[in-house]
Chain A
């Protein structure tokens, strides 16, 4: 297990290294001189040269790359040119919006989807299965930002229960903060729950057709125990795969939802930074997201081994 973990972490670090090179390289070939973009077309050549010097754009590419990577290792992500504050501060400000949002919607979707999927598989072909899978079919087809618009119209414009957008900040208290994140979290969770319910159901169906399930039933084990103890555990691998994918999606997929609700999260930060060519912010946020996806992947791989002892031996 230790060797397996060490291998996974090594691969994770390697992924981060390659990713940093790719991110830096891609943004390096981006058309447009950042200094020119900041000062506009009417800038004097002297001002331009000064700014380029100040931004370190005159240094060799490799030196700038290693300065950037070395800085990140000690928590220095550089300084944003448009916000004129350290990137790490900008990220810290936004993470407290994006992370709770991702976690709330992941909890919502998992709490709905897994029981629905198991229940449908157990009652395959019955009315309850048909209704819940019909609902899941429609849920998969709904664009989350359109669903968000409908939620705003019903709950914010009509019923006036929650704000239609914006974020008051956690300093205003926990409840107003959660209230502002509620509609976005529901909008994000619905399509995810629909996908997860379908995957859970088809994984369960696959497992329920196995011989060991029949054996467990034949030796007199109650249906419920077979379902939750034997079948669910064996059906977890595809479910975990999709959960991992979905968490990655939630971290950055909030770009659109954050735009719909005017939430000051990471997605909006990186979207604005891309359109304003504030490269250092884009690089910092992307690396942070890549790092969190790498961590999620390692956790998913460990969970594979936890639920399936056969994989522990193979690894």
Chain B
């Protein structure tokens, strides 16, 4: 956890900007930067979810049955926080695409001639007065893609976690 605290202490987008600024702008470096800042987010959410489960009776029962902490984590804690992690996963997937768009908007993501929605939005900003549709459609493309991925994630969650499905 301590290492994650350190990584986590760096605001996500700032580290992405720093990584791409140090190693040069480009698609690969943007991918690495976005990947790194997702690690502590999952660690943090998993820890918070697990913390609220450890005082439960079934964990106590498992301990009384002689199971070790590692085994309890895998057999009891992980399945119970899986739904939180999956919800977070869909959110992070969306954020990953949005972060790439943001980096490209700043000129740090994919470089021309490789096309990028974020870059298109940057180019459109100066022409807002005369051609607002140049700004509207790349943004709509991002919204529809992210929305589609999120809905896919929700569908997966319903399939994988019968407890949540029954609740709906």
Contact = CB atoms under 8 A, between A and B. Distances in A.
The judgment on whether A and B are partners is yes
A143 B106 contact: no
A57 interface: no
B144 to A, nearest CB: 8
Nearest to A260: B125
Contacts of B9: 15-16, 19, 290, 293-294, 297
Interface string B90-105: 0100100010011001
Given A19-B10, A256-B102, A259-B106, A140 B125 contact: no
A238 B49 contact: yes
B14 A241 contact: no
B121 A146 contact: yes
Contact of B128 (A14, A149, A308): A149
Contacts of A124: 167-168
A289 B11 contact: yes
Given A19-B6, A297-B5, A255 B87 contact: no
A199 B11 CA distance: 21
Contacts of B60: none
A208 to B, nearest CB: 9
B100 to A, nearest CB: 10
A26 B18 contact: yes
Secondary structure at chain B's binding surface: helix, strand, loop or mixed? helix
B106 A271 contact: yes
A37 B143 CA distance: 40
The interface size bin for chain A is 35 or more
A149 B167 CA distance: 39
Nearest to A241: B48
A18 interface: yes
B126 to A, nearest CB: 11
A271 B132 CA distance: 27
A131 B124 CA distance: 32
B58 interface: no
Interface of A: 11, 14-16, 18-19, 22, 26, 30-31, 124-125, 137-138, 140-147, 149-150, 152-153, 157, 191, 195, 198-199, 202, 205, 209, 237-238, 241, 245, 248-249, 251-253, 255-256, 259-260, 267, 270-271, 274-275, 282, 286, 289-290, 293-294, 297, 304, 308, 310-311, 314
5 nearest CB pairs, A to B: A252-B11, A146-B139, A141-B146, A252-B14, A141-B147
